[in-house]
Amino acid sequence: MKPLICFLLLFFVSEIQSFDLVIDEIPDDLENLFDLEVDGFLSKPMTRNGRYQRSTLNDEDSGEAVAGDDKISIYSYKVQSTITSRLVNTMIQSKVENKAKHSQNVVFDVQIPKEAFIHNFTMNINGITFTSSIREKSAARQQYAQARAKGKAAGIVRSSALDMENFKAELNVPGGMKVQFEIHYQEMMRKKLGSYEYVIPLQPGRLAKHLEVDVRIIEPQGLRYVHVPNSLGDHFAGITTISKGEKKAHVSFKPTVAQQRKCPTCSATAVDGNFVVTYDVHRETKAGELEIFNGYFIHYFAPDNLDPLPKNILFVIDVSGSMWGLKMKQTVEAMKTILGDLRPDDHFSIVDFNHNVRTWRDDLVAATASQTEDAKKYIQEIHPNGGTNINEALLRAIFILKEASSLGMLDPNSVSMIILVSDGDPTVGELKLTKIQKNVKQNIPEDVSLFSLGIGFDVDYDFLDRLAHENHGMAQRIFGNQETSSQMKKFYNQVSTPLLKKVEFNYPQGSVSDVTQNSFDNYFGGSEIMVAGKVDADNVQHLQSVITATSSNAELVLETLADVEGLDDFLKKEPHADPKFTEKLWAYLTVNQLLAERNLAPTAALKRNITRSILQMSLDHHIVTPFTAMLIENPEGNERMLADSPQDQKKGCCPGTLGVAPNGLDKSIPPWAKPTATAESLLSVRRAPTLSTDPRITAVDNDPHFIIHLLKSQENICFNIDSEPGKILNLVSDPDSGVVINGQLIGAKKRENKKLSTYFGKIGFYFKNKGLKVEISTETITLKDGSYSTALSWSDTGSIIRKRLLVSVKKDSSVTIAMDTEMSFMVLLHRVWKNHPVNVDFLGIYIPPTNQFSPSAHGLIGQFMSEPEVYIYNERPGRDPEKPEATMEVKGHKLTVTSGLQKDYRTDQVFGTNVHCWFVHNSGKGFIDGHYNDYLVPHLYSFLKNPWKGYRLNQFVKKKRFFPPLPHPDKYSDSLVFSV
C-alpha cells in the first residue's frame, strides 16, 4: 500500500503511544464540535478510558470466552495466510463480545505492511453484516456523507513502525452483543539478503479463548527450507509446528489460554510482537524461473554463484546539529562495519556535510586495509553541528565520481553509487527541493545509482524517495534510535554485492503484452528481480525469454523456455493455491510501477493520465490505493463507514483542527505539535489553516530560550532572557485581534555558578473579544469567563469548550488551545523529580507560524509575525571551534551571532530535538525592539503599552543619519519626546 493519502473519518485510538493520526480534506462541519457545549461548557470534562482491562479469570478451559473486568471478551483471534509463489493473501479475523449490560466501544486494530493492498473488510454485528466495496475516492466520500454510520468508524492510520500501517475499526456495541471483524489484504514477498520473510504483527491486546495463526506456502519451484524464528520470545518455544513437503509447507501456531498468559496467575497476554516465517526456494538455472498460469506469466530471476562487480561508492553523511547524540553514535558504528566490509577492488570516499561540505579524500581511493582504517578514524572524530546543505554535498560527491571516470580510474565493469544519509530537510544553500532534484539529475552520470537513507521522521521522505528513484536507486526510512546502526548495515548489505549490471528481459513480440518493467540497472546478490505480463495462451504453447546482462568477467545471454500449461496440473489440484496469483502479482507490480512513474511525471497532463490508469487498475482488482477508498456499509445502505490510505508521516497531516468524540472521548492534538502519544476519537471538523504541519515553529522553552523561526529567510534566530523570578514577560500583544499571551517567571531552587535560572511557571492567555482567560500553571489549567470558571488537572486527559475556544489537556504532557480556526497554541509541561536540589517544574510554549495575528501584533514573539529583513553573512570560526560566528544585519543593527543548538521538546519531552539557530547575545539586544525590560507587564493578562511605532521611527532616523540618536520613549506613554 503506498503511503500517499490520509483517511477521512477520525476515530478512537486508545492509550497507544505509537501512532500519529493523519487528516485529509476535512468536511465543513466545525459547528458539530461546538454544538457539544452545554451552557457554554461540556456537560463534564472528557477523560480517557483505558483500552483494555485485563482478564482476571483463571478457568480458561470453561466454555465461556475469556472476559476482562470490562466484560469485553475475545472469543477467537485468527490469522490465515496463503503464500502462492510469492503472493501472500492474509485474513485476520476477530470475534468479540460485550458481556456487560451497557454499551461499550470495541476496537479492531491490526497492523498491515505498508506495501500491502487491502481488498476486503467485513463486520458482522449480531447477524447483520457490513460489507466493503472499493470506489473512486471522491465518489466514496460522497456516498459516505449521505449515510454516515452512527457509533462506528474505520480508517487506516500511520504507525510509527517503519514498514507498517494500522487498520482500525471502532464500534459502539450494546451490552450482550457480539461482533466479528475480518480484513483481507495481499502483498508480494520480496527476497532480501537471500530469503523471503513473512511478518505477521500479532497483537490481540488481551487473552483470546481461541488464538490461531495458520500459514500455508505453495512454491512450484520447490522449497529449500522453512524456518520460524522465536520472534515472540522463549515464552512460546515449542508451540509452533512446521510440516514441509517438496513444494508445500504448513505452519501452525495455536497457544492455549494458559500458554498466552504472561505468568500462570497473570491476566495479561504475552502475545505481543511479530510472528515471522522465513523460507527460500530451489533455483535450478541462472536464467530464472518462468511461471505461467491463467493467461499471465511471472519471471523470477535471482542468480547466485557469480563474482561480485567492483563498486565505486561515495558515502554522503549528514553531520548537522540534529544528528548529535544517538543518531551520530549509531551512524558511526554502522559506518565502521560498512567500511570494514568493503572489498579490496572497491573504491570509495566520504563526504560529510552540515552548513559546510568536507571530504575525507578529494578523490576515490582503493579500499585497502590502511585506507579503511584511516576512514574509520575520520568518521569517529566527526562532531555534529550547524545546518544542512544537501545540495552542495550531493554535487560534490557527483563531481568526485565524474572526475574519477574522466581520469580512467574506474573499472569499466564496476558499479558506481552514492549513499546519502540524512535526518532532515535542507536548511543551508539551496532550499528548494525540486531545484535540488533538478541539480542532481542534470549532473549525475546515467550509470550512477543514488540510494537515500532517511533517519527519523523529521526528514522529507518523499523527497529522498524521488531523489533515489529518479537516479536508479531506492530509499529507506531508518529509525533514529538504538536500532539505527543495524538498520543501516542491513540496508547496505542489500546493495553491497552487485552481481550484474544492465539487465534486460526480452520476450517474443506478439506473444506477450502489458509487460512490467523489464530493464534494470543492477542486480544485487541476495535479492530477486520479478517481471510479469500477459500471455496469449490461446495461440502460444511455449514462452521463451532471453536475458542479457553484464557480469564481472563476461557479457551474459541467458535463455529459458516454459510451457504455457506447465503449472496447470499442480496448481489446479492444490486446494490452498490462489488460482489468480499470476494476475494479482502482475497487478501488484503494475500499480506500484505506475505510482512510481506518477511520482516522477514531468508534466501535469502525464500525471493525470497515469492517475487514471492507477484508478482503473484499483477498481478492476478491488484494492485500496491512494486514489480509491473502501466504503463499508450495511445491507440497507443507510449506514456507511469509510477507510482511506494514509500519507507519509513527514507530511503527516493535512491542515486540520481539534475535534471531540460524540461519546465523550478525547480529541486530537494539532498535527504541528507532533505529540508523542496518539490522539483520541474525533468528529471530523473543517479544514483549519491555522494548524501547520511545518516542523519549523516559534517557541519559548527551558530557562527561557526563545526560538524565532523566520519563514522568509528560513532561519532560526535564538536568544535568552535573563530576568527575575516573579516578573511577567509579554510574549504576544495583539490589540486588534484582542489576544495577549504573557508568561510569569519562577526561579530555580538555588543558584548554580552564581546564576539563578528562571523558567515560565505560569502562562496566561487573554482572548479579549470573547471575554475569556486561560491560566496554565504547573499544577492546573483554568478557563475563566467573568466570574465563572472551570479547571482541569494535569493528572487527567480532558477538554473544555466555551465560546468556540477549545482547551485540550493531555495527561502530564501538554495543553492545546484552539480559537475558532484562526489560532492555536501548545503549552508543554516539564516535570522534574520533586526532591531535585536545583530544578523545578516549568512550562514551554509553541506557536505555529500560520496563526493569524494582525499587523499590530507585538511582544517578544509577536513582533516577529511581521518578519524583519535579516541578512547573515561572513561566517567564520568562533572562539569555540565547534560554534562558528557570523554577522547578522537586522533592524539597522550589525550583530555578531553564534551558530548553536536549541531544543524542541514537542516530540521528545525528556531529551528534546536539536534545532540549529543563530544565537543573539545580551538577551536579544538589537534583534528585539528595545530592551527586554520594555516587555515587562504588571499582570498575567495585561496588554503591552505599545510605543513601538515611535521606536521604529527612531531606528529609521538613526539608520538614515538624519538626526543624532534619540532617547528611548517611556513604554507606558502614548506620546514621544524628542530631544534635539
In single-letter form, the type of residue at position 250 comes to H
Distance of alpha carbon 455 from the chain centroid: 11
Pairing label, strands 780-785, 788-793: antiparallel
What's the mean pLDDT when you consider all of the chain?
81
Q: Is the pLDDT of residue 10 over 80?
A: no
Average pLDDT over residues 131-160: 74
For residue 274, which of 159, 164, 168 has the smallest C-alpha distance?
Answer: 164
* Residue 654: Cβ-neighbour burial (10 angstroms; 0-12, 13-18, 19+): middle
Q: Which residue has the higher pLDDT, 481 or 878?
A: 878
Average pLDDT over residues 160-177: 76
* End-to-end CA, the chain: 73
Residue 658 has what pLDDT?
22
Name 404's bridge partners.
Answer: none
Q: Which residue has the higher pLDDT, 424 or 558?
A: 558
In single-letter form, the type of residue at position 376 comes to K
pLDDT bin (cut points 50, 70, 90) of residue 163 is low
Rounded (5°) CA angle 819-821-823: 50
Distance CA 764, CA 863 (A): 18
* pTM of the model as a whole: 0.62
pLDDT bin (cut points 50, 70, 90) of residue 980 is very low
Q: Which residue has the higher pLDDT, 113 or 791?
A: 113
Q: Which residue has the higher pLDDT, 109 or 504?
A: 504
CA dihedral 368, 370, 372, 375 (to 10 degrees): -140
Average pLDDT over residues 113-141: 89
In Å, the largest CA–CA distance within the chain is 105
Q: Is the pLDDT of residue 733 over 90?
A: yes
Distance CA 732, CA 706 (A): 13
Give the DSSP letter of residue 613. Answer: H
Least reliable range by pLDDT among 70-84, 351-365, 431-445, 555-569: 555-569
Q: Could you give the residue ranges of the DSSP H alpha helices within 250-355?
A: 257-260, 326-341
Q: Is the pLDDT of residue 284 over 80?
A: no
The CA radius of gyration of the chain, in Å to the nearest whole number, is 31
Cell of 208: 483470546
Residue 947 has what pLDDT?
52
Distance CA 805, CA 380 (A): 52
Pairing label, strands 311-318, 347-353: parallel
pLDDT bin (cut points 50, 70, 90) of residue 41 is very low
* Sequential DSSP letters for 373-384: HHHHHHHHT---
| Cβ contacts of 533 within 8 Å, gap of 6 or more | 296, 297, 507, 512, 513, 514, 515, 516, 586
For residue 729, which of 904, 927, 939, 972 has the smallest C-alpha distance?
Answer: 939
For residue 418, which of 373, 368, 353, 480 has the smallest C-alpha distance?
Answer: 353
Q: Is the pLDDT of residue 85 over 90?
A: yes
Q: Which residue has the higher pLDDT, 160 or 221?
A: 221
For residue 107, which of 79, 70, 82, 144 has the smallest C-alpha distance?
Answer: 70
733 contacts 946 by C-beta, under 8 angstroms: yes
- Model confidence over 597-610: pLDDT tens digits? 888 888 889 999 99
Residue 650 has what pLDDT?
41
Distance CA 300, CA 219 (A): 12
780 contacts 23 by C-beta, under 8 angstroms: no
- Model confidence over 219-260: pLDDT tens digits? 999 999 999 999 998 889 999 999 999 999 999 999 999 999
Q: Quick one: which H or E segment has residue 784? A: strand 780-785
Q: Could you give the residue ranges of the DSSP H alpha helices within 209-278?
A: 257-260
For residue 746, which of 779, 700, 703, 781 has the smallest C-alpha distance?
Answer: 703
Residue 939 has what pLDDT?
94
Q: What percent of the chain has pLDDT over 70?
A: 82
Residue 977 has what pLDDT?
32
| Cβ contacts of 14 within 8 Å, gap of 6 or more | 48, 49, 50, 51, 105, 107, 680
772 contacts 803 by C-beta, under 8 angstroms: yes
- Model confidence over 308-342: pLDDT tens digits? 999 999 999 999 888 888 888 889 999 999 999 99
- Model confidence over 664-718: pLDDT tens digits? 323 333 333 333 332 232 222 222 223 333 456 888 988 888 999 988 788 899 9
Distance CA 659, CA 836 (A): 38
In single-letter form, the type of residue at position 394 comes to L
Residue 162 has what pLDDT?
54
The total number of residues shown for the chain amounts to: 980
Within 13 Å, how many C-alpha atoms sit on residue 47's CB side?
8
Residue with cell 485500496: 624
Distances (CA, A) of 723 to 718, 923, 969, 971: 16, 9, 21, 18
Q: Count Cβ neighbours within 10 Å for each residue of 367-384 and write b for 16 or more, e otherwise.
A: beeebbeebbebbeebeb
CA dihedral 397, 402, 407, 409 (to 10 degrees): 70
Residue 974 has what pLDDT?
33
Residue 766 has what pLDDT?
96
650 contacts 462 by C-beta, under 8 angstroms: yes
Residue 946 has what pLDDT?
64
Give the DSSP letter of residue 234. Answer: G
Pairing label, strands 273-281, 248-253: unpaired
Q: Is the pLDDT of residue 584 over 60?
A: yes
Residue 414 has what pLDDT?
93
Q: Is the pLDDT of residue 158 over 50?
A: no
In single-letter form, the type of residue at position 251 comes to V
279 — phi, psi (to 5°)? -160, 170
Residue with cell 493492498: 117
pLDDT bin (cut points 50, 70, 90) of residue 211 is very high
Least reliable range by pLDDT among 431-445, 785-799, 965-979: 965-979
- Model confidence over 875-920: pLDDT tens digits? 898 888 778 999 999 998 999 999 988 888 887 777 788 888 999 9
338 — phi, psi (to 5°)? -65, -45
Residue 938 has what pLDDT?
93
Distance CA 731, CA 743 (A): 7
914 contacts 903 by C-beta, under 8 angstroms: yes
pLDDT bin (cut points 50, 70, 90) of residue 481 is low
Give the DSSP letter of residue 327. Answer: H
- Model confidence over 614-670: pLDDT tens digits? 999 999 999 988 888 888 888 888 888 888 765 444 433 222 222 222 233 233 333
664: left (phi over 0), alpha (psi -120 to 50) or beta: left
Give the DSSP letter of residue 279. Answer: E
Residue 240 has what pLDDT?
95
692 contacts 655 by C-beta, under 8 angstroms: yes
